[in-house]
Amino acid sequence: MATLANRPTDRSSASAAPEEGGRRLDLFPVPVFIWKWNEAEQRKSQLLETIRHRRASEPGIVRTNRDGWHSDTDLPAWEEPGFLELVRWATACVRQSSLIWSGDAVANSELLGSWRLNGWANVNPPGGHNISHTHAQRNWNWSACYYVDLPDIAREEVGGALVLEERGTGLRPKGGQPSRTFRHIPAEGEIIIFPATLFHSVEPHNGPGDRVSIALNFHHPALELARLWEHRPRIWWRKFPKLMRRVAQLRGSQDWSAGAAPHGYDVVPLEASAEA
């Protein structure tokens, strides 16, 4: 079969190769927000004590973590001191970030009430890291990471940076590295918030001690679905959502329909605004 490359061409009418002077337009920025918790210092010891106790008594799970500990995803329901305050503050930050990003598209009143969350603690000892992934499964809108304890993270050789990757163009050569990345050196007491569809990874931690952070996912029905094509519901859920919701209810299993809220915990944000 002839291709465009070897098809006979009338050279007299062929277009000339493009000359220099083409323009590049980078459109549609990715929203990322960073907030600082003013209670971080006084709450740090409480958070660390609980995380260390749970790490010693619970095996944890393996998701994207490598050589590190990942707790169960029920952190928004932890009752130990400091966690409820952190989770409600983080939810207030996400709510405020949503209002800033959406402008007039989402009314302030639409984001009142509870948000759906899940979350977990991460402990990366020396060598621990996280491979690239997203949190867009199950209709999460925003993802976030709060930094509890970062020993010597400011030094370049310590590693442990958060790397955000923009892969939305589909133009990356197969097997190549993402060309549009942002490497963020975190600070203790800050939370970084980004769309759940954004790929991200954590570099190996090479410093002394443990790198301790808390990951959270957020969903609100006033925001559009974050589901990617590869995470769409299976055919039975797409074709017969009412029937499948009924079956799930009888079985006590999760609702996987396109508009369903993800499994998690409902949290009401603090009213006090955070400081960007």
pLDDT reported for residue 45: 98
pLDDT beyond 50 at 229 = no
Residues in the chain, how many? 276
Instruction: Give residue limits of the domains in the chain.
Output: 33-267
pLDDT at 120 over 80: yes
CATH topology of domain 33-267: Jelly Rolls (2.60.120)
* Highest mean pLDDT, choosing among 8-12, 196-200, 252-256, 270-274: 196-200
Give residue 169's pLDDT: 64
Rounded CA-CA distance 241/1 in Å is 45
Strands (E), the chain: 33-36, 65-66, 69-70, 115-124, 129-133, 142-149, 162-165, 181-184, 190-195, 199-202, 211-219, 265-267
Percent of the chain with pLDDT over 90: 53
- Record the pTM: 0.84
